[in-house]
């Protein structure tokens, strides 16, 4: 059996070598979702892929000779990076020039006609072109912008890490040489920042989880042997976690990166229950082999079921439509069951070979402070049940109000703390340029070349003017801006002509604009190939869900006011919309999966105890901690988002384990004590209280390791799960026994004594026969 464990783990170690980081934002929506389909169609039609890194410098006039040289040097150094496709900034933008011999407008690069000695003239030219106003320079003209486009072929590959790091090094050199701070953002930059953080933190959280949980276990048990075997079990589990992720062809994302640490934190309680039972049995009869056998026979099935319920809590995520949740739920649920198999094989075999325990190895079962804690529980449950109910009801009412204060958030940088440099850079860009997250409006005229209609162009111009009044949006760009630029160029660059052409001017000005195939990319990306659909491109601020929903509502209202829905089809898409819709979709799916997990576990409880009252009694102590957690989130302003909502699935799946252990022991003692409910409850508290306390403390400190994360959501997840599990322990050791004593015979009928699933086999005759055979 050990050979099978070692060989299979070695195979998983080999598989884990193939694991790769994800270089994309986690896909929240299924491919068939209408919002996702619309976004994909937009990207294909307008050849947009969110491939721009945005750089903005503080307090610099790039048209001054020295600043011009430095800015040009920065641009050229960035251009040498393999994978950088194109760079646009105030000094290398394009002017439209009228060519009378060809009767065409030509794009002429600024830098071809100017050098450092004439940079002031370049500044005058730039300022004479309203097309670029607030596009490549902030409104106060103190922050120039540089747009660095990454090649589509390397955008989602490992090369993107090298490219972004190279960009950062070049920018750092510029900052050192000039003393000017440069702020960086854009989808590729944010995505790589996330990937880098995940990559650097996964080893740290795994190491800390392993160290903290085993340290706490050693402090409780004072046994190097127990600590080492526990470390061995969870390390094998971690190897399996990486192996499973690679075997399923998944990549390391923010959620899947949590699995190895989860396996450590969840695996240690398995070991605690098994080792505690071994020490407890040996203490009673001093027979090592009998103790090992009883570990497997008495709590093996119970431990299997508790691991199964935890796995089911994660497996419910597989039934959602979210790819990231499916992957997380699949690997986590299988991994939890694998860790159980490893622990139930390795621990008993290890103790069967090892020397018999010394008294100091099981002294932890009799520590005064543990006895004091158990005494407090027994006294409270026996004499102060009314106080328990008053406290629980009071806390439930307070927590219920707190849940009404919970907010949701779904922005791209939701997992970053406010002090993170990435957030500070983003806020600078939002303050000076309105936003950095792509937001697109596509208007279908339903007619070929309908976008050339002057009435349509005027409507687009009107909508852009309305959008310009919204503080969380950047300057918008559309075919209207291109045509205004063309009219100015037609009149030899006179900025007073930067306006829409009249009906008389329109045709001959449009005739000067090169056709799409002739390469005027400025218009290619703003109008589809048929001239039927026009695009308004904007950059939005990275708002939370509620603010973003309000903004979208305002935009839709302005669109519907200007464009008659019966004459025009208008869609609003882009990364902003995807993240807004994706978060709402994800939260809905997680709530459904939690409800499903509760239902499945209720069915298991029904099979275990065959009592409707017992199902209710078993669920209430586990739903109460979830209500308390929701209340805390509301009062402390912790929003619902993909990471924090996992608190409920994780905590519920784990806390039910304590309930199963307690109730199974309660039923066993009920039979042994001649159906004396009071005695059975009190003995169950004494027997299971120590292990439940140990495991809860280990889980508390294990999940607290996530507080070291630089992702705000993961930090909140660690804190909330830790608190929830402590509340769950107290709930299972105080509220659950109180309910059992209050309901008495209602939860202990004949069916209760004959479950469909048996966890503890305590047949005394079988044990006596076994004892005799062992003595022989």
* CA 300 – CA 287 distance, rounded (Å): 19
* CA 358 – CA 751 distance, rounded (Å): 42
pLDDT at 517 over 50: no
Integer CA distances (angstroms), 761 to 671, 754, 758, in order: 11, 12, 7
pLDDT at 760 over 80: no
Which pLDDT does position 684 carry in this prediction?
Answer: 83
Say if strands 437-444 and 533-540 run parallel, antiparallel, or are unpaired: antiparallel
Which pLDDT does position 765 carry in this prediction?
Answer: 38
Q: What dotted CATH number matches 192-407+579-763?
A: 1.20.1640.10
Contact yes or no for 139/475 (Cβ under 8 A): no
End-to-end CA distance of the chain: 27
Coil, strand or helix at 511: helix
pLDDT at 396 over 90: yes
Q: How many CB atoms lie within 10 A of CB 772?
A: 9
* CA 697 – CA 700 distance, rounded (Å): 5
Helix (H) or strand (E) holding 99: strand 94-99
C-alpha 419: how far from chain center = 19
Least confident of 452-461, 673-682, 722-731: 673-682
User: What letter would DSSP give residue 707?
Assistant: G
Contact yes or no for 226/347 (Cβ under 8 A): no
* CA 518 – CA 99 distance, rounded (Å): 15
* CA 483 – CA 500 distance, rounded (Å): 7
Contact yes or no for 317/593 (Cβ under 8 A): yes
Residue that the structure tokens 């090094």 belong to = 169
Which pLDDT does position 749 carry in this prediction?
Answer: 54
Least confident of 66-70, 325-329, 512-516: 512-516
* CA 330 – CA 37 distance, rounded (Å): 25
Which pLDDT does position 754 carry in this prediction?
Answer: 54
User: What letter would DSSP give residue 733?
Assistant: I
532-564 residue pLDDT tens: 999 999 999 888 777 888 899 999 999 999 999
Would you list the domain boundaries of the chain?
Answer: 192-407+579-763
C-alpha 397: how far from chain center = 30
- Give the model's confidence band at 752: pLDDT under 50 very low, under 70 low, under 90 confident, else very high: low
Nearest to 575 by CA among 31, 186, 189: 186
Coil, strand or helix at 148: strand
Nearest to 191 by CA among 415, 520, 369: 415
* CA 365 – CA 221 distance, rounded (Å): 8
pLDDT at 573 over 60: yes
Which pLDDT does position 755 carry in this prediction?
Answer: 53
Which pLDDT does position 366 carry in this prediction?
Answer: 60
Integer CA distances (angstroms), 188 to 21, 82, 103, 324, in order: 15, 15, 40, 19
Mean pLDDT of 490-506: 89
Scored b (16 or more CB within 10 A) or e, 575-601 reads bbbbbbbbbebbbebbeebbebbbebb
Q: Which one has a higher pLDDT value, 662 or 756?
A: 662
The residues, any chain, with a CB within 8 Å of residue 384's CB and separated by 6 or more, are none
pTM: 0.76
pLDDT at 394 over 90: yes
pLDDT at 764 over 70: no
| CA dihedral for 9, 10, 15, 18, sign (positive or negative) | positive
- Give the model's confidence band at 686: pLDDT under 50 very low, under 70 low, under 90 confident, else very high: confident
Contact yes or no for 237/293 (Cβ under 8 A): no
* CA 126 – CA 116 distance, rounded (Å): 15
Nearest to 261 by CA among 694, 698, 705: 705
Which pLDDT does position 521 carry in this prediction?
Answer: 46
744 burial via Cβ count (<10 Å: 0-12, 13-18, 19+): exposed
Which tokens go with 538? 């904007």
Integer CA distances (angstroms), 445 to 449, 452, 533, 548, 553, in order: 8, 10, 6, 27, 22
Nearest to 203 by CA among 263, 255, 254, 261: 261
Nearest to 527 by CA among 485, 496, 483: 483
Nearest to 766 by CA among 352, 280, 273, 290: 290
Mean pLDDT of 216-225: 79
* CA 659 – CA 604 distance, rounded (Å): 12
Which pLDDT does position 695 carry in this prediction?
Answer: 81
Which pLDDT does position 241 carry in this prediction?
Answer: 94
* CA 758 – CA 748 distance, rounded (Å): 16
Which pLDDT does position 478 carry in this prediction?
Answer: 92
Helix (H) or strand (E) holding 512: helix 503-512
Q: Identify the bridge partners of residue 104 per DSSP, sorted by sequence position.
A: 99
* CA 615 – CA 243 distance, rounded (Å): 37
Q: How many CB atoms lie within 10 A of CB 512?
A: 19
Which pLDDT does position 73 carry in this prediction?
Answer: 92
Mean pLDDT of 31-49: 82
pLDDT at 5 over 90: yes
Q: What angle do CA 23, 26, 32 make, to 5 degrees?
A: 120
Q: Which one has a higher pLDDT value, 381 or 14?
A: 14
pLDDT at 79 over 70: yes
Integer CA distances (angstroms), 508 to 47, 441, 505, 703, 745, in order: 29, 28, 6, 69, 93
| pLDDT, mean over the chain | 83
Which pLDDT does position 647 carry in this prediction?
Answer: 82
pLDDT at 334 over 60: yes
Mean pLDDT of 290-313: 82
Which pLDDT does position 515 carry in this prediction?
Answer: 62
Scored b (16 or more CB within 10 A) or e, 519-550 reads ebebbbbbbbeebbbbbbbbbbbbbbbebbbe
* CA 758 – CA 668 distance, rounded (Å): 10
Share of the chain above pLDDT 90, in %: 27
pLDDT at 520 over 50: no
- Give the model's confidence band at 716: pLDDT under 50 very low, under 70 low, under 90 confident, else very high: confident
Alpha carbons within 13 angstroms on the beta-carbon side of residue 570 total 22
Which pLDDT does position 747 carry in this prediction?
Answer: 58
């Amino acid at each position: 059996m050990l050979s099978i464990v070692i060989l299979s783990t070695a195979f998983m170690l080999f598989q884990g070598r193939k694991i790769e980081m994800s270089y994309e934002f986690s896909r929240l929506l299924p491919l068939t979702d209408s919002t996702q389909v619309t976004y994909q169609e937009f990207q294909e039609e307008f050849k947009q892929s969110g491939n721009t890194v945005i750089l903005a410098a503080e307090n610099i006039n790039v048209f001054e000779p020295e600043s011009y040289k430095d800015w040009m040097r920065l641009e050229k150094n960035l251009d040498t990076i393999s994978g950088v496709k194109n760079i646009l900034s105030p000094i290398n933008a394009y002017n439209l020039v009228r060519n009378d011999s060809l009767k065409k407008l030509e794009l002429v690069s600024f830098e071809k006609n100017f050098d450092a000695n004439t940079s002031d003239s370049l500044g005058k030219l730039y300022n004479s072109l309203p097309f670029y106003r607030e596009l490549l320079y902030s409104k106060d003209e103190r922050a120039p912008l540089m747009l660095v486009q990454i090649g589509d072929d390397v955008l989602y590959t490992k090369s993107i890490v090298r490219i972004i790091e190279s960009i950062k090094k070049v920018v750092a050199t510029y900052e050192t040489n000039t003393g000017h701070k440069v702020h960086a953002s854009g989808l590729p930059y944010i995505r790589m920042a996330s990937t880098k953080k995940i990559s650097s933190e996964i080893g740290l959280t795994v190491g800390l989880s392993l160290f903290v949980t085993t340290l706490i276990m050693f402090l409780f048990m004072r046994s190097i042997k127990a600590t080492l075997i526990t470390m061995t079990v969870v390390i094998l589990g971690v190897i399996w976690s990486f192996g499973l992720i690679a075997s399923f062809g998944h990549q390391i994302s923010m959620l899947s990166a949590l699995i190895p640490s989860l396996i450590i934190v969840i695996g240690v309680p398995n070991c605690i229950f098994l080792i505690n039972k071994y020490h407890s049995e040996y203490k009673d009869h001093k027979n090592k082999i009998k103790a090992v056998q009883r570990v497997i026979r008495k709590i093996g099935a119970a431990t299997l079921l508790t691991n199964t319920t935890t796995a089911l809590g994660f497996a419910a995520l597989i039934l959602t439509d979210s790819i990231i949740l499916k992957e997380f739920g699949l690997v986590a649920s299988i991994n939890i069951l694998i860790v159980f198999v490893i622990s139930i094989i390795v621990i008993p075999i290890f103790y069967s070979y090892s020397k018999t325990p010394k008294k100091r190895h099981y002294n932890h079962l009799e520590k005064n402070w543990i006895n004091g804690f158990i005494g407090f529980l027994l006294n409270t449950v026996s004499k102060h049940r009314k106080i328990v109910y008053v406290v629980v009801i009071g806390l439930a009412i307070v927590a219920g109000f707190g849940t009404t204060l919970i907010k949701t958030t779904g922005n791209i940088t939701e997992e970053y703390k406010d002090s993170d440099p990435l957030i500070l850079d983003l806020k600078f860009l939002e303050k000076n340029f309105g936003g950095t997250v792509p937001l697109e409006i596509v208007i279908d005229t339903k007619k070929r070349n309908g976008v050339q209609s002057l009435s349509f162009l005027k409507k687009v111009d009107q909508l852009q003017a309305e959008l310009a009044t919204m503080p969380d949006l950047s300057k918008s760009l559309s075919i209207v801006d291109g045509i205004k630029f063309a009219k100015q160029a037609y009149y030899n660059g006179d900025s007073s002509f930067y306006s829409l052409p009249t009906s008389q001017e329109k045709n001959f000005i449009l005739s000067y604009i090169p056709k799409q195939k002739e390469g005027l990319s400025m218009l290619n990306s703003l109008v589809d190939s048929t001239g039927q659909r026009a695009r308004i491109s904007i950059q939005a601020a990275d708002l939370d869900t509620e603010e973003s929903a309000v903004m979208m509502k305002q935009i839709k209202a302005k669109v519907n006011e200007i464009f008659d829905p019966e004459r025009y089809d208008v869609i609003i898409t882009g990364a902003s919309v995807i993240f807004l819709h994706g978060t709402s979709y994800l939260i809905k799916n997680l709530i459904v999966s939690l409800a499903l997990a509760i239902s499945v576990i209720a069915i298991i409880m029904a099979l275990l105890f065959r009592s409707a009252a017992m199902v209710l009694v078993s669920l209430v102590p586990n739903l109460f901690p979830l209500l308390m957690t929701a209340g805390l989130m509301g009062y402390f302003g912790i929003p619902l988002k993909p990471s924090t909502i996992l608190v409920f699935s994780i905590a519920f799946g784990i806390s039910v384990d304590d309930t199963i252990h307690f109730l199974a022991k309660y039923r066993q003692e009920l039979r042994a004590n001649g159906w004396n409910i009071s005695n059975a409850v009190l003995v169950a508290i004494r027997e299971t209280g120590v292990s439940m306390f140990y495991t809860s403390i280990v889980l508390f400190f294990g999940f607290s390791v996530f507080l070291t994360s630089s992702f705000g959501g993961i930090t909140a997840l660690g804190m909330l799960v830790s608190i929830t599990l402590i509340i769950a322990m107290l709930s299972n050791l105080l509220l659950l026994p109180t309910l059992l004593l209050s309901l008495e015979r209602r939860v202990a009928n004949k069916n209760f004594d004959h479950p469909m699933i048996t966890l503890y086999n305590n047949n005394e005759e079988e044990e006596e026969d076994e004892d005799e055979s062992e003595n022989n």
